[in-house]
Amino acid sequence: MRETLADWRPAIDEAIADLVPRDVDADYLESFFGDPTYEYDSGGIQRALSTPLWDLLDRGGKRWRAVLFLVFVEGFGEDPADYVHYACIPEILHNGTIIVDDVEDGATIRRGERALHHVYGHDIALNAGNAMYFLPLKVLTEDPGDLPAERRLAAYEMLMYELNRTHLGQGMDICWHNERAVRVGVDEYLEMCACKTGCLARIVGRLAAIITGQPDDVEQAVATYAELTAVAFQIGDDILDVEHSLGRAGDFGKEFGNDIREGKKTLLVIHAIEESPPERAERLQAILGADSNTDEEIAEALAIIEDAGSLEYAREFALDLAATAREEIDRLAFDDETTRKLHEFTEFVIEREA
C-alpha cells in the first residue's frame, strides 16, 4: 500500500493545483469564481488561501483518502486516471478539517512544523480551513467525468449528509476535552470517531461508488469498510501519540504528550480509567483536566495508561475493527489485486510508525 500511495501522490497534488494553484492570478480567479463585481485582489487571496494550503500539503501527509478513492474506482472497473480530480474532494476536505481542528484544539505542531494558525494567524487559518469545505465541490460543478445528473445530485446529497455528521463528531470531541471528568465510555468514543474521522472516509467509499454507478448495497459495503478502517486509523493515531511520547515511535509530527496536554478522551484513556485502581484513575483524570501540564505530569499519565494495559487493549480493538472491514470487502466482487490492496490498507493504518 505504501507503494500505491507513493505512485499516486504526484498526480493527486497536480490535480489539487488545478483547483487551488500555487500561484493565484486574475485568470484563475475569474475562471474558478466568476467575473468580479469590481476587482479581485489576487495577492491577498494568494496569501489567504493558496499559500496556507500548500504550506500544509508540502509538509507531507499520505494522501491516503485520495488514493483509497482511486483504488475503489479501479476495482469498480474504471480507469482511475480519469477520476483523479474527484479524488481531490476528500483530500482537500480532510486538510480543511485539520486546519480548523488545530485552532479549536490549540495545537502547536502539525506535520512536524508550527500549526498554520501560529504561522498565519487564527483568522487566515480559519478562513482557509473553512474554504476547503467548499472549494472541492467545484469538481462536481465542472464535472470532468461527464456524470449523469442523477449521480452528481447523489454525490452532493451524500457530501452534505456526511459533512454534517463530521461536525457532530468534532463537537463531541471538543466538549469532552474541555471537561475535567471522563464521563464517556467506549461506545460514545467510537461514535465520535465514526463521525469525526469515519465520515470523511465514508465520503471516499461512497463517492467512488456513486460516480461509477454502483448499486446501493455495494455503496454501503465500501462505506462501512472505509468507516471501520478510519476508526482503526484514529485508534492507531492515539496509540502513536502515546508511543511517540514514550520514545517508541518514529517522527510523529506532534508535540510530546499532545493528547494528554489537550485533555483528549481517547480509547486508551477510557480503558485506563476503567481498569486502574481508583487513586490512579483519579490522578489520570486530574492531569487530563488541568489547564497545563509539566513534562513530569505527562510522563505520569503515560505510565498510568501503560500500566493499565491500555496500549495492548487499543491495538487489539483496532485490529478487530480492521478484520471486520476486510470482511466487508470480501463480500464484494473485486479482483484479487484490488482486494489485496484494500486488505493491506487496513493493516497499514494500524501498524504505521508515523
- The yes-or-no verdict on residue 220 having pLDDT over 90 is yes
Q: Quick one: which of 133, 329, 311, 88 has its CA closest to 229? A: 329
Q: 74 and 108 in contact (C-beta within 8 Å)?
A: no
Q: What is the band of 353 on the pLDDT scale with cuts at 50, 70, 90?
A: low
More confident residue, 10 or 143: 10
Sign of the torsion formed by the C-alpha atoms of 286, 288, 289 and 292: positive
Strand partners, 109: 114
Kindly report, residue by residue over 16-75, the tens digit of the pLDDT. 999 999 999 999 999 999 999 999 999 999 999 999 999 999 998 888 899 999 999 999
Per-residue pLDDT, 43? 96
- The yes-or-no verdict on residue 145 having pLDDT over 60 is yes
pTM for the model = 0.91
Mean pLDDT of 151-177: 94
> For all residues of the chain together, what is the average pLDDT?
92
Q: Quick one: which of 259, 220, 258, 252 has its CA closest to 353? A: 252
- The yes-or-no verdict on residue 249 having pLDDT over 90 is no
Helices 216-245, 186-196: axis angle to 10 degrees equals: 110
Q: Which domains does the chain have, with CATH numbers?
A: 1-144 (1.10.600.10), 147-354 (1.10.600.10)
Kindly report, residue by residue over 309-351, the tens digit of the pLDDT. 999 999 999 999 999 999 999 999 999 999 999 999 998 887 7
- The yes-or-no verdict on residue 248 having pLDDT over 70 is no
